[in-house]
Amino acid sequence: MCLPFIGLMPVVAAREFGINSRSAGYGVLYACFGVGALVGAISIGTFLARVRKDWIVRFGLAGFAVMLAGFAVVRSPVLAYPVVALVGTFYFAMITALSTAMQERLADAVRGRFMALWIMGFGGVISVGNLIGGPIAQVAGPRYLLLAGAVAALGLAWYADVRPPLPLVSPEVDSGLSAARR
């Protein structure tokens, strides 16, 4: 429910900022989101590489919520450009950290299959959110849909529990512990 703004970006641009979806201004708006996404994704492997992924996920979701709310209330296209860049930065930092944390916890034998399902499910859920969000935006307006998405993201930031993985016990240690228990 946080991402319908991506599919509805032409509507948001036209209704809220007066930017025609076939104009260069719209291309710049969408490019700002993309540049922010690039910065957010690259930050996880560079200057945020040593930061715990659970903190990045929570902070990223909270930052995404605040910036999405900001994008909802901004009235000027000039302000919309940097705000949507920050939306992309926070969102992609969070999703990259979440994906990295998952991959760290998966066994090598299942990582590829699991990540294929993750990507397929993730992409599908975004489409479902767009299907649900379209009629809501038509009735209530895109601004209210964006604010609802910001509230949902804030709820997810509170709910997110991406703890560091527990240390793995090797089979040799495990069999020794089992023998000691008997």
Please state the domain extents for the chain: 4-181
- Model pLDDT, residue 7: 87
Q: What's the pLDDT score for residue 104?
A: 84
pLDDT at 122: 78
Kindly list the distances between the CA atom of residue 20 and the CA atoms of 23, 26, 87, 136, in Å, as whole numbers in the listed order: 5, 6, 21, 21
- As assigned by CATH, the class of the 4-181 domain is mainly alpha
CA separation for the pair 109, 166 (Å, rounded):
19
- Please tell me what DSSP assigns to residue 167: P
User: pLDDT per position in the chain (182 positions), as tens?
Assistant: 788 888 889 999 998 899 999 999 999 999 999 999 999 999 999 999 999 998 999 999 999 999 999 999 999 999 999 999 999 999 999 999 988 888 888 888 888 898 888 888 877 888 888 888 889 989 998 999 999 999 999 999 988 877 765 665 555 555 554 555 55
Of the candidates 78, 102, 74, 101, which has an alpha carbon nearest to the alpha carbon of residue 5? 74
